[in-house]
Structure 1
């Protein structure tokens, strides 16, 4: 399968998980083990993990890993990059033929975790990239997860299910308007520096 720039519909998420605990290996491995990755291509190396496949399943697996790590109660950070339309994505594309049922929905539906996040959207080779980014911010505002713009990113906050819903909607918006899109995300859960007022909002 030979692809030119922007024609591949393989979505991907490369991420690193950082639990702030001496038991970090167990937190990372447990989160990966509890996540059903049957519908995504997965490879973990000494630096990061990569999921590739249909967009539905990539976001499903990404959210599940975050939730399973966050439910440990440890302070965890997840840094990652979503991508679709990469001209180099030409192998291991069989996962694109999976059906649309999300495998982790049922097992993660009741898990509640905060998901303060900074994200940056990059519509590649798109002259109106600022217009697309502005529309993505409007989605976050409409969904109630937008906090503020910060240098080089936008800040979201709320329940993890809501924040991931916003991120996927923003990513889909950009993917519909341009061929190659990347989106960086930086999450933090259970941070000791969180303000009490924010935690009360999440509990309510």
Structure 2
């Protein structure tokens, strides 16, 4: 039986657990190449038979996950990406957290010229706060600065360039943390190069 009385301590350790699925017979090489092209030296990384986990500073968590996705999507194959981002209470173990690194992202240069239309959905969960729905609505509105935003069941849909979407996701996640959420969680699903994407950037 798990301990229900664990201490809730302040933690700046961020993490993401993600899966990437290239719809291709070459999915193994696509995933391996994307990982090899991404500099992960400022985060903790562990891959098992279900997901890959990265831990460290929030700026590097988004930098690494964005780069891995973009490198895979740049092959032109249909790629699906799912991730859960988390920061805060009930905290995280300090070991292997890479929190002593600086804040300079390592993959900006390698992905700056990759233009990739994607469709995405995200859900934001500011746990441990007060008026959480106000926080969610405010951040959905803030996403409109970066990409096209539309409602969807149980989530919010985003359409636009992948770099813009990741930039917006990082900003709204950070803003949620700064508004006092003691534990912030975000789930994200992204699709690139889907056969259902029209040329104008909308789904059929």
Q: Same fold (TM over 0.5)?
A: yes
TM, length-normalised to structure 1: 0.92
1:76-95 equivalence runs, <5 A: 76-95=79-98
| Greater Cα shift, 82-91 or 168-177 | 82-91
Shift of 1:97: 1.1
8 A Cα contact 2:126 2:135, kept in partner: yes
Q: Deviations over 1:94-119 (max 9, x none)?
A: 41110011100011111111221100
**Structure 2 residues without counterparts, runs of 5 or longer:** 1-5
Match of 1:131 in 2: 134
Shift of 1:5: 2.3
- Distance, in Å, in 1 between the alignment partners of 2:105 and 2:59 is 7
**Structure 1 residues without counterparts, runs of 5 or longer:** 200-204
8 A Cα contact 2:11 2:88, kept in partner: yes
- Distance, in Å, in 2 between the alignment partners of 1:93 and 1:86 is 18
Aligned residues: 196
Pairing 1:32–2:63 present: no
Shift of 1:88: 4.8
Q: Deviations over 1:125-168 (max 9, x none)?
A: 2231110111111111123x132011110111111111111100
4+ long deviations beyond 2 Å: 3-6, 91-94
The alpha-carbon distance between structure 1 residues 7 and 36, as it changes in their structure 2 partners (threshold 3 A), is: same
106, 111, 134: which one pairs with 1:108?
111
Residue aligned with 2:201, SS: helix
Q: Deviations over 1:45-85 (max 9, x none)?
A: 11110110001111100110010010011000000100001
- Distance, in Å, in 2 between the alignment partners of 1:161 and 1:89 is 28
- Distance, in Å, in 2 between the alignment partners of 1:58 and 1:98 is 12
Q: Over the residues paired in the alignment, what is the CA RMSD in angstroms?
A: 1.5
Higher strand share: 2
The alpha-carbon distance between structure 1 residues 197 and 29, as it changes in their structure 2 partners (threshold 3 A), is: same
